[in-house]
Amino acid sequence: MPVTLGPHLLLALLEGVVGALVLALTALGLSLVFGVMRIVNVAHGAFFMLGAVVTWYVSSATGSFLLALVAAPLAVGGIAVVADRLVLRRIGYEPESTIVATIGLLYILEQLVLMTYGPYARPVAAPIYFRIDFGWFGYSGYKLVVAAAAAFLLVAAWLALSRTTLGLYLRATQQDREIAQAFAVPVGRVYSLAFGVGGGLAALAGALIVPVQQAHYLMGLDALLLSFVVVILGGLGSLTGTVVAALVVGLADGAVSVLFSPTLAKIVATLLVGVVLAVRGRGLFGEELA
Amino acid sequence: MTLGLHLAVLAVLAALQLVLPPFHHGMVARVMVLAAYAIGYNLLLGYTGLMSLGHAIFFAAGMYGTGLTVHHGGFGVAAALVVGLAAALAVGAVVGVMTVRTAGPAFLIVTMMLAQAFYLATLHFNELTLGDQGFILPALEVTLAGRAFALADPAVKYNVALVVFGACLLASLGLVRSPVGRVLVALRENEERTRLLGYHTGRYRVLAVALSGLVSGLAGATYTLLFSYVGSTFAGVLYSIYPLLWTLLGGAGTTLGPLVGTLLMTYAIDVTSGITDAYLVIVGAALVLTILWAPAGVVGGLRARWARWLP
């Protein structure tokens, strides 16, 4: 056993880091939407899946993965904004109605993809292909590029939130909607923006992961559940907490998946979150969900 | 008047079996079992004001409790049903206690997570449950007054479904008109005020979740006995969303809403699935349209306009 434990641990660590950074990107979108709009977006996983599917369409039509990487978040962000205007705004962002509406949105998007794209799991060739030899095993270089890209995007998102006027609007609306409005922040548009950016971040994560995971119309559910896990453990509305929790959960998930079984890892994660939220309504850090 | 109306609905359902062609005969039998599930859901959403996204855990607890004891233990119908109900009640009590301090979206997410853990467990322990693939139960029969009735017989199926549905419908009517039911409605309207009036709101909430779980589990157990199949699909997210949709569409907080919603939606899905493989799109569309334009549901809308007395 000790002879083989080393490579297993290294593999678990690598898988964990890659998974964790992509998860952080996905969950950041969910956390932003919750923080700014005070709503739980059940369709978040569908946005992740759409990002992957759009990437497949664009990169197989044009042959350019980079173009797809730009197109996916823009297209999905656009869809999210339309959904916000057509549905969520009309029900006044009432928490439970919003959840029902986003469940509906999830099924509409998922089934429309099934109608057009079909029930297949289709791969997209990685734009860069190289292997890194760790002695015991070779590891896909693209996965490490994904991790680096996700980390870069997280930093970019943090800069955008903390250094730009739009970021200021988002943070102001999150802190106090009415005061923000009194200071001429266009709260209605900020809501649409938050929903669009949230969807776009999920789509970006989905786009990055396609070459590793393949695009499939049901891939959103796992992404959604893990994002919930992360957002709740990290604290509702706390973006830093979300990123930290994503790293912890992603690493733990990678380790348990490699060493035991992926299903067991998910059982542990979902039970953990159920218990945490049941005992402490606000998650480990952050604000009360009510 | 209200009791009369409910008995009339049951009488119509009983009479329908004489005129329905075989396909619809089977459909309505299935609708009645699923409507019993929706009644269980409605106790929580409609009368206690708690929106759960994990009711499949109760349906599946009833289903697995009954199915596993038949499959592995060779239990008869009655004994297996008791095990199924006990499992559902126990799961209901545990979920109730665990969620007693959560409200609104937090309740929803906790129930969703617990149900997901249960679903994953049915996959993980696949030596026992056969996971996704599930298993088929042997031909079962019930003995009543010295005569054996095979559950596979369509007429028996229909009438067992009718009895179970009728029992759930009348029990829910009785509950919501009882003092306990009034307290649950008070919880829905204002939990804080109910507590100030001196009620142990926590106990009533646990009771509501456990009862809702019991009724949902009864539906799950009946489903598995009548349709002879147990599989993890029934523990999945979709089977938590269905009762939410049926209840909202028919009218949350109305006793007849669950039946109306289940009937409409089961037929809508049947028609759509003849047209496209992506028939679940109708589930999404129905959810969005209901919440946008008919948040009170069909029966709720009728009540608001013409029949204020509907329970």
Assembly ipTM: 0.85
- Quote the CA–CA distance of B197 and A219 in Å, as a whole number: 48
pLDDT in tens, B249-288: 988 888 888 999 999 999 988 888 888 888 888 888 888 8
CA distances from B103 to A188, B58, B106, B182, B216 (A): 27, 20, 6, 20, 21
> What 3-state DSSP class applies to A217?
coil
Minimal Cβ distance to A290: which of B103, B276, B295: B103
Question: pLDDT tens for residues B117-150?
Answer: 899 889 888 878 787 778 887 777 777 777 777 7
Task: Report d(CA A36, CA B12) in Å as an integer.
Answer: 51
B108 CB neighbours in chain A (<8 A) are 40, 96, 99
Among candidates A182, A179, A185, A194, which has minimal Cα distance to A165?
A185
Angle at B32 between CA B30 and CA B33, to 5 degrees: 70
Q: Do B291 and A115 touch (CB under 8 A)?
A: no
Taking the CA of residue B114 and the nearest CA in chain A, the distance in Å comes to 6
Distance from the A208 Cα atom to the nearest Cα atom in chain B, whole angstroms: 26
Model pTM score? 0.88
Does the distance separating the beta carbons of B277 and A114 come in below 8 Å? yes
Q: Where are the domains of chain B?
A: 2-235
- Domain positions in chain A are 24-218
B105 touches chain A (CB under 8 A): yes
The answer to whether residues A87 and A78 touch, using CB atoms and an 8 Å cutoff, is: no
Contact status, residue B51 vs residue B108, Cβ threshold 8 Å: yes
Kind and range of the H or E element at A140?
Answer: strand A138-140
**Does the beta carbon of B94 lie under 8 angstroms from any beta carbon of chain A?**
no
* Three-class DSSP category at A137: coil
Rounded mean pLDDT for each run of 10 residues along chain A, 290 residues in total: 66 82 89 86 94 92 88 94 91 88 93 89 80 75 85 88 87 86 86 92 91 87 86 76 85 78 80 77 54
Size of interface A-B (CB pairs under 8 A): 131
Tens digit of each residue's pLDDT (9 = 90 or more) over B178-212: 998 888 888 888 888 988 888 888 889 999 999 99
